[in-house]
Each structure stands twice: as C-alpha cells, then as structure tokens.
Amino acid sequence: MSDTAVKIDAKLVKELREKSGAPMGDCLKALQESKGEMEEAFVVLRKRGMASAAKKSSRTTNEGAVGTYIHAGGKIGVLVELNCESDFVARTPDFQELLRDIAMHIAAVDPRYVRKEDVTEADLEREKDVYRAQAAATGKPANIIEKMLEGKLSKFYEEVCLLEQPFIKDQTQTIAQIIATKVAKLGENISVRRFARFKVGDPNWTVAQTAQIATEEA
C-alpha cells in the first residue's frame, strides 16, 4: 500500500493542524507519509517549512508591523519589527500571533542579536579567544580543540541570537523554525528586521538590528 493510501483519522489531522499551524491538506499528507505517527509528521512539516522559507528568503520584505510586549508589571518592555511582503499578510491573525510570540520571547530571553551574521567581529573574536584558552587547557590535540570550539560557538549563537534560540513556548523549535512554519502557511517571506528590549533600572538595554539595515544606512 502506498503512503497516499494510508487512512488517517480526521482527529489526528486536526490535532496536527493545531500543533503546527500548517494547512489541513499539508497535515494530512505529512501524516500519510509518517503512517499516522504524530511526532514524525510534525518533523516532516517542520522540514518542509524550513525548505519553503529558504526558497523565499531572497524575496523583499517591505511590509509588516511593529509589535509590543509588556511583562512583569510594566518592568520589561519590547518593541519588534516583523516584515513580510504584503500589507494583507501583515494584518492576518497568523502574522500578528507570530509577532506577539516573538516579542514575548525577546522579553523572556533577552537575545542580543537577530541573526548569527549580525554578531560583531569583536564579540565573536572575544568568545573564540575564551573558548580556545579553555580547550587548550584540556591538553587535547589541535583537531579536537577545533571541534570543541565549533560546539562552543554553536552554543554561543544559541544564547545570543534570536533566530537560533529555542522558542520559549516550545523548546523543540527555534525562532527560525516557527517563522518558517508561518512562511509555509502564509506563502510569503517573513523576517525580523530589528527589536529593542528595555528593563526598568537596567542600564544594559538591548537594541538589535540586522546587518542589512546597517548596510542600507551607511
């Protein structure tokens, strides 16, 4: 029997739809491919979402909206600009939900950059120097030290870059992956352009923007 002939309970399709946000037809196909295994079907959808997002990543995003999130009795506030390709998509409930979720995530996790590409050379070299010294202290061979360095840098990016961070409401997905899911559903490229996070009494407030903005303004 082929995958497309696998009979899937409508309740499973609805459950996957609610979990992933993907269209019902895509949920059905993913469940058929995974022979009714919910987690496998979810992985299928995530992979398709990332592939769809990658194809659309070069498309211009000049529309969008600015979202806010105020947390902890007014002690933390976030502004974030999320871009898409059309004003129509910017006003959809799915886009607005994504905007609120990203703003909430920034309030909770306090990233310093939008993407890995936005990390300054000074910050990156400082981290590399620290990690190299730590690795060298173990006395391991140079090739092992380089692998250790790669692992440390991956963790560093996860800690400071918004798109690399596990989503606060679902640690199995990164922010990049939840954006990719919406890209697949809405059919437009979506990107975080910039954000600002303020905390009462904290002098180390965060303002981050993509390196592309800095290039445009130069």
pLDDT in tens, 105-149: 999 999 999 999 999 999 999 988 888 888 778 777 777 877 888
- pLDDT, residue 129, reads 86
Q: Considering the chain, what percentage of its residues have pLDDT values greater than 90?
A: 43
16-25, 66-75, 198-207: which range is least confident on average? Answer: 16-25
CATH number for the domain whose boundaries are 3-56? 1.10.8.10
Examine the pLDDT at 15 and tell me if it is beyond 60: yes
Q: Which of 154, 96, 156, 97 is nearest to 126 (CA)?
A: 156
Domains of the chain: which residue ranges?
Answer: 3-56, 63-116+161-217, 120-158
Examine the pLDDT at 66 and tell me if it is beyond 60: yes
Average pLDDT, the chain: 85
Query: Under a CB-based contact definition with an 8 Å cutoff, are residues 165 and 48 in contact?
Result: no
Question: In whole angstroms, what is the distance from residue 136 CA to residue 146 CA?
Answer: 10
Of 163 and 51, more confident: 163
- pLDDT, residue 63, reads 94
CATH number for the domain whose boundaries are 63-116+161-217? 3.30.479.20
The tens digit of pLDDT for each residue in 161-180 reads 999 999 999 998 899 989 98
Residue 73 Rama label (left phi>0; alpha psi -120 to 50; beta): left
